[in-house]
Structure 1
């Protein structure tokens, strides 16, 4: 399973949606994911990929990690994985 598919599966699970309902253009708000769901998604992603996302849960806009949409989250995770190798 690709990084993209894994991230979409994790986000879909948080949103209680089918992965086919989650697109790279979807925002977390579009998917009905609130701030608690976002934090849970970040934890699940960190665990799945064994990474630590530089994320400010109190003020996501202040984070270096772009969570503006699913595609940006996937790109950020792929970049972190590449930097670890």
Structure 2
């Protein structure tokens, strides 16, 4: 499965945007994803890739999982997947 492509699809769906509107440098905030959209995105990603993201929705700044950009999210997911193998 192409992690980058699937993550971008999930984020685009949550932001109600076209896939082409989501770039690796995009931020969730810049895409208009609010805290509820963030949580829904994380749930969708966890379900899709069968992983657990170490993310505290109540205090995102204290998380070890970087959500600063789409590329950071993809990097974190790829790392979690490789740790499971």
Q: Shared fold by TM > 0.5?
A: yes
Equivalent residues in 2 for 1:1-85, closer than 5 Å: 1-85=1-85
State the alpha-carbon separation in 2 of the partners of residues 21 and 2 from structure 1: 18
Stretches of structure 2 that go unaligned for 5 or more consecutive residues are none
Q: TM-score, normalised by structure 2?
A: 0.98
TM-score by length of 1: 0.98
Q: Which runs of 4+ in 1 moved over 2 A?
A: none
The Cα of 1:48 is off from its aligned counterpart by: 0.1
Distance, in Å, in 1 between the alignment partners of 2:26 and 2:61 is 17
Give the length in aligned residue pairs. Answer: 85
RMSD: 0.6
Structure 1, gaps ≥5 residues long: none
